[in-house]
A = this chain, B = another copy of it.
Amino acid sequence: MLTLTTFRSVPPFAAGYVRDLRVRWALEEAGLPYELRLLDFQDAALPAYRKEQPFSQIPMLQDGDLRLFESGAILLHLAQRCPLLLPQDAHARAQVTVWMFAALNSVEPYLAELVTLNLFHGDEDWAAGARPAAEEMVRKRLRDLDDWLEGRGWLAGEFSAADILMTTVLRLLDGMELVERHDRLRAYRDRCMDRPAFGKALADQLALYGQAPRAA
């Protein structure tokens, strides 16, 4: 049995955006059933949990006696059992891996920095000064992605685990009208989110946090 660890409750703004969504989506694509292990937010900082997850983060995935953290590593682990998420051909597999790391190391950090600035420091005097440089990096990455998607339906060949990671990264910008400036990128994100496995994963996360599924 697979057991996914996530928070028992989150602030309303986070519902639908908790990082277990990536893992839920991959599990749905792979058709793998799973159980939840719910963690109280304050318990994440306790020594017992930090022995498993040194950064007090979720998600974690338990697969038999294997305990994994880092959403990228969890997706890679799941993808290795599911050719839909990671092709068998070595060449194609390497390209998907490239884009998994690209989502997490070349795109997410800049988007997360901008979102953190707006969400947690928006009222501070210095935030207005910090914003232009943060936004410029985000705009550059979005342009780069939009260019890459010319003539491509997915990041690397067919739909893969890389698209799951990139879509959940792009969703960090929801409501900011930045992705929407790029036609190919917006269409790509929406194509990913139209997948039934994404819809199921999102509805399940929202249900846990007491919210109804959102209209498309």
Show the binding face of A for B, using Cβ within 8 Å. Answer: 50, 54-57, 65-66, 68-73, 76-77, 91, 94, 97-102, 104-106, 108-109, 112-113, 120-121, 124-130, 133, 141, 144-145, 147-148
Contacts and interface: CB of A to CB of B under 8 A. Distances in A.
A55 B106 contact: yes
Nearest to A124: B129
Contact of A133 (B55, B104, B121): B121
Contacts of A76: 97, 101
A147 B50 contact: yes
Contact of A104 (B105, B121, B128): B105
A105 B70 CA distance: 8
A70 B124 contact: no
Contacts of A70: 98-99, 101-102, 105-106
Contact of A101 (B104, B128, B141, B147): B104
Contacts of A72: 101, 104-105
A18 to B, nearest CB: 16
Residue among A91, A109, A128 with max Cβ neighbours from chain B (10 Å): A109
A109 B108 contact: yes
A68 B94 contact: yes
A141 to B, nearest CB: 7
Given A73-B98, A124-B129, 16 more contacts: A55-B102, A55-B106, A55-B141, A57-B106, A68-B94, A70-B105, A73-B100, A73-B102, A76-B101, A105-B105, A121-B130, A125-B126, A125-B129, A126-B126, A126-B127, A127-B130
